[in-house]
Amino acid sequence: MSPEKNHMNRKLLLPLLLVLVCLGSACKKSPDQPPPIICYGPGLAGSDADGVKIIITSFIKNLPSQQYTADNLDKLAKDISDKCDVIAKVPCFNCIKTFPSMTELIISFPNSTLQKAVDISYTASNEMKVVNVH
């Protein structure tokens, strides 16, 4: 092979290798990174109660602890408020006297009269679970 052709092949090989390395590293998904949560579109403001349950459940799963405590529900409300540009509040913890008891998470949307109430209760292992959206 002539020196010119060898030099030309090296010039083509370097960019090709660089592209392959970049593509290979971009496709790897970190197992520690949770999937993104979609707040908008048919998300939180949508009329699909099951869709809202899925979104709130995703937020619960992303918390450091999913235990049904006042502190964790406050963290949940803050996380939703911060990431979705809404106002999420927990007026009182465990104050809906059903069996099992529940806590209501109120989500308000800026520049709108729309509000959602999300009823959160607990499992047998005392982990938060979404029961209802209204």
pLDDT of the residue at 74: 98
pLDDT of the residue at 28: 47
- Domain range summary for the chain, segments of one domain joined by +: 49-133
Supply the DSSP string of 74-87, one letter for each residue. Answer: HHHHHHHHHHHTSE
- pLDDT (tens digit per residue) in 73-129: 999 999 999 998 899 999 999 999 999 999 999 999 888 888 999 999 999 999 999
Record the tokens describing residue 86, joined without a space.
Answer: 């809404």
- pLDDT (tens digit per residue) in 120-129: 999 999 999 9
**pTM recorded for the entire structure:** 0.72
